[in-house]
Amino acid sequence: MIKAGIIGATGYAGAELVRILTGHKEVEIKWYGSKSYIDEKYERVYRNLFKIVDAACMDDNMEELAKQVDVIFTATPQGFLASVLTEEILSQVKIVDLSADYRIKDVKVYEKWYGITHQSPQFIEEAVYGLCEINRGKIGKETRLVANPGCYTTCSILTLYPLVKEGLIRTETMIVDAKSGTSGAGRGAKTANLFCEVNENIKAYGVASHRHTPEIEEQLGYAAGKEILLNFTPHLVPMNRGILVTAYADINKEILNGPSAEDVIRAAYDQYYAKEKFIRVLEKGVCPETRWVEGSNYVDVNFVFDERTGRVIAMGALDNLVKGAAGQAVQNMNLLFGIKESEGLEMPPLFP
């Protein structure tokens, strides 16, 4: 059995890790770290796990934890892991970091968008960006540190990747309009996230300034082989879970003038995703919807090619707490330990 520790186990992403790992055959959770609930029984913080999890919350002592477990998941605020990570810890334990600390290779970009000084930039180079379907080959037994991608970024990148990688679109025209359920805002007590403030409402936020922007740009830049700038606009939707991305880009002229842009685009999606268990390219005419992936590790993607405007509208849907956070973290852990990649993640989506 793999021994796992979770730092930040009482946030929504941490609790989803607990839910998923509880059903994982080869893992046992040894440490439920929590800043706010130390010594409190975990089942009292998340009563869905009453009589399922029998443990008290521990502190977030990474050094001690590193000695006791094989893998640590850090579902912590930005800057936490960077401030405590040491070579000694990394020499003892694998880490899957759900925060943004090691996602962005250029430390200046990180510091600019996050407004934090990075406390341990020496580990950035080593960290692997854990978007499993794309970077699977880089994650294995020798990997020590995985930067688990953000929820919006996972959805945005997977929605656009085949188009960018195959050079089908004018990348400078890319626009990502994203919509998220409210669990993405975390469990902190803020007036803006109260039921009556979120319910019966939709709004954009972080327009032209959301921190997931440079992460999307960097990863799609690797696919494009060039620097990318794009607009990313997140919206808050009155639902618990789910992210929907609606992305726009102009199709390249040579494709537009070719025989069938529609077919070329579909072929690109199939080329990259046909064999992927967790990425479902939908049938023509079917739009991704968050309800069809809720509670699961699936990402549904599809596109519409608009002949009138020469644009493609690419869409993707995932559960922000699963494929957008805890599910992908477990998928990464499976890769780290050479376990079947889908172990613990095979539950079908829950509907309604």
Applying the rule CB under 8 A, the residues between 253 and 312 that interact with a second copy are: 280, 282, 286-296, 300, 304-306, 308-309, 311
Rank residues 1 and 202 by Cβ distance to a second copy and give the closer one.
Answer: 202
Rank residues 91 and 191 by Cβ distance to a second copy and give the closer one.
Answer: 191
In the numeric block, which tokens belong to residue 262?
Answer: 């529609």
Q: 3-class DSSP state for residue 179? A: strand
Return the amino acid letter for 292: W
C-alpha span between 166 and 169 (Å, rounded): 8
Least separation, in Å, of the C-beta of 32 and a second copy? 14
Applying the rule CB under 8 A, the residues between 237 and 256 that interact with a second copy are: 237-242, 244, 246, 248
Applying the rule CB under 8 A, the residues between 130 and 189 that interact with a second copy are: 173, 175, 177, 179, 181-183, 187-189
Residue with token string 């997140």? 234
C-alpha span between 77 and 138 (Å, rounded): 26
Residue 198 as a binder of a second copy (CB under 8 A): the answer is yes
Q: Which of 30, 235, 256, 267 binds a second copy (CB under 8 A)?
A: 235
Least separation, in Å, of the C-beta of 343 and a second copy? 13
Rank residues 61 and 233 by Cβ distance to a second copy and give the closer one.
Answer: 233
Residue 74 as a binder of a second copy (CB under 8 A): the answer is no
Residue 119 as a binder of a second copy (CB under 8 A): the answer is no
**Candidate segments 19-27, 97-105, 129-137, 330-338, binder of a second copy by CB under 8 A:** 19-27
What residue spans of 85-175 are helical by DSSP H? Answer: 87-92, 107-114, 132-135, 151-165
Residue 230 as a binder of a second copy (CB under 8 A): the answer is yes
Count the site residues for a second copy by CB under 8 A: 83
Q: For residue 204, which of 173, 237, 231 has the smallest C-alpha distance?
A: 237
Applying the rule CB under 8 A, the residues between 313 and 352 that interact with a second copy are: 313, 315, 317, 346-352
Residue 204 as a binder of a second copy (CB under 8 A): the answer is yes
Least separation, in Å, of the C-beta of 202 and a second copy? 5
C-alpha span between 84 and 61 (Å, rounded): 9
151 as an active site residue: the answer is: yes
DSSP code of residue 287: P
Residue 112 as a binder of a second copy (CB under 8 A): the answer is no
Cβ–Cβ under 8 Å, residues 28 and 92: no
Question: 199 CB contacts (<8 Å, ≥6 apart)?
Answer: 238
Least separation, in Å, of the C-beta of 162 and a second copy? 18
Return the amino acid letter for 79: G
Residue 200 as a binder of a second copy (CB under 8 A): the answer is yes
Q: Which of 57, 132, 151, 155 is catalytic?
A: 151
Least separation, in Å, of the C-beta of 207 and a second copy? 4
Cβ–Cβ under 8 Å, residues 15 and 53: no
Question: 122 CB contacts (<8 Å, ≥6 apart)?
Answer: none
Q: Which of 67, 203, 226, 340 binds a second copy (CB under 8 A)?
A: 203
Rank residues 128 and 301 by Cβ distance to a second copy and give the closer one.
Answer: 301
Quick one: CA dihedral 297, 10, 35, 39, positive or negative? negative
Q: Which of 112, 190, 253, 340 binds a second copy (CB under 8 A)?
A: 190
Rank residues 96 and 345 by Cβ distance to a second copy and give the closer one.
Answer: 345
Judge if the upstream peptide bond of residue 352 is cis by omega within 30 degrees of 0.
yes
Burial of 88 by CB count in 10 Å (0-12 exposed, 13-18 middle, 19+ buried)?
Answer: exposed
Which positions are annotated as active-site residues?
Answer: 151
